[in-house]
């Protein structure tokens, strides 16, 4: 009889342990993110989620492919590192089924001084570096157009390249460079249009150092908001709803505004 009681107690303890582990697993949200500013922002949301019984596990990535494939494969519940044009292109090229669930922030592009210290001092034939990838080159060209430096062909949109430049009064040399390398090329060009995250990583302050910045109310601000992404079909889970609510909280908005000095702007 004593042996039977011992066995029953053991079974009960194992069942309780299994139930506890399962509950902990259900309340854990795994999210992939770029280090700056995404993971930093998620650390604030992590505190909010903890109060609701959720554990936010943040996995940092230094590339733009693995967090998407990991989300598609179910290794991650969500990711936060990309804007919608990149996501759309990734799905098309890789046959993935990833969808955005919330727009969180926007990193404005800026024009930064290289060998030339202001836009007004720009000489004929000067060289301006722009990102060479499809989702960001057009954005850079639109910012140059907004400063009156070039004019794009009618109808040119967020797929524009240097081939869509209609007029170039100063005969500027628009040099296409990999986005991550533009900061290093600053001293070799007159001006450069730099992505927000790379500017932040290089210690450049868009509010203080940029000669011109994308308007926060521009089409680019809406189009290039960074989004939380999940695999299609998981949009309405309680965990994802809790995640979105936490990241779009006033506490996170305050953190963004106070931490990044205009280099990161809330989209909510």
Which pair of structure tokens corresponds to residue 237? 């889970």
Give the pTM: 0.76
Q: Do domains 2-106+224-266 and 110-219 have the same CATH topology?
A: yes
Predicted local distance difference test score (pLDDT) of residue 25: 65
Predicted local distance difference test score (pLDDT) of residue 22: 44
Predicted local distance difference test score (pLDDT) of residue 147: 96
Q: Give residue-wise pLDDT tens across range 29-83.
A: 999 999 989 999 999 999 999 999 999 999 999 888 999 999 999 999 999 999 9
Predicted local distance difference test score (pLDDT) of residue 4: 57
Predicted local distance difference test score (pLDDT) of residue 159: 86
Closest CA to 210 of 114, 83, 105, 106: 114
Average pLDDT per block of 10 residues along the chain, 268 residues long: 52 44 71 95 98 98 94 98 92 97 94 98 98 88 96 91 97 95 96 91 90 86 92 98 98 96 91
109 within 8 A of 195, measured Cβ to Cβ: yes
Predicted local distance difference test score (pLDDT) of residue 1: 57
- Domain residue spans of the chain: 2-106+224-266, 110-219
Which homologous superfamily is 110-219 in? Periplasmic binding protein-like II (3.40.190.10)
Q: Which residues contact 45 (CB under 8 A, 6 or more apart)?
A: 56, 243, 246, 247, 249, 252
Predicted local distance difference test score (pLDDT) of residue 222: 81
Which homologous superfamily is 2-106+224-266 in? Periplasmic binding protein-like II (3.40.190.10)
Q: Are strands 110-113 and 151-152 parallel, antiparallel or unpaired?
A: unpaired
Predicted local distance difference test score (pLDDT) of residue 21: 40
Predicted local distance difference test score (pLDDT) of residue 201: 84
């Amino acid at each position: 009889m004593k042996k039977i009681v011992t066995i029953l107690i053991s079974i009960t303890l194992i069942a309780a342990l299994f139930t506890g582990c399962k509950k902990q697993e259900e309340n854990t949200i795994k999210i992939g993110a770029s280090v700056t500013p995404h993971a930093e922002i998620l650390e604030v949301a992590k505190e909010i989620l903890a109060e609701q019984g959720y554990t936010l596990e943040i996995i940092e990535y230094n590339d733009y492919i693995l967090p998407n494939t990991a989300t598609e494969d179910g290794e991650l519940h969500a990711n936060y590192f990309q804007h919608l044009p990149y996501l759309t292109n990734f799905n098309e090229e890789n046959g993935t089924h990833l969808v955005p669930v919330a727009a969180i922030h926007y990193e404005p592009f800026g024009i930064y001084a290289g060998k030339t210290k202001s836009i007004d001092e720009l000489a004929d034939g000067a060289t301006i570096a722009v990102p060479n990838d499809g989702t960001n080159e057009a954005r850079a060209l639109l910012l140059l157009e907004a400063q009156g430096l070039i004019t794009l062909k009618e109808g040119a949109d967020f797929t524009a390249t240097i081939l869509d430049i209609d007029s170039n009064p100063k005969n500027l040399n628009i040099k296409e460079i990999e986005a991550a390398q533009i900061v290093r090329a600053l001293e070799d060009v007159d001006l450069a249009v730099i992505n927000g995250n790379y500017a932040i990583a290089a210690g450049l302050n868009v509010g203080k150092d940029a000669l011109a910045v994308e308007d926060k109310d521009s089409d680019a601000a809406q189009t290039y908001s960074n989004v939380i992404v999940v695999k299609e079909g998981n949009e309405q889970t309680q965990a994802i709803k809790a995640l979105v609510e936490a990241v779009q909280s006033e506490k996170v908005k305050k953190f963004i505004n106070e931490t990044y000095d205009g280099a990161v702007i809330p989209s909510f």
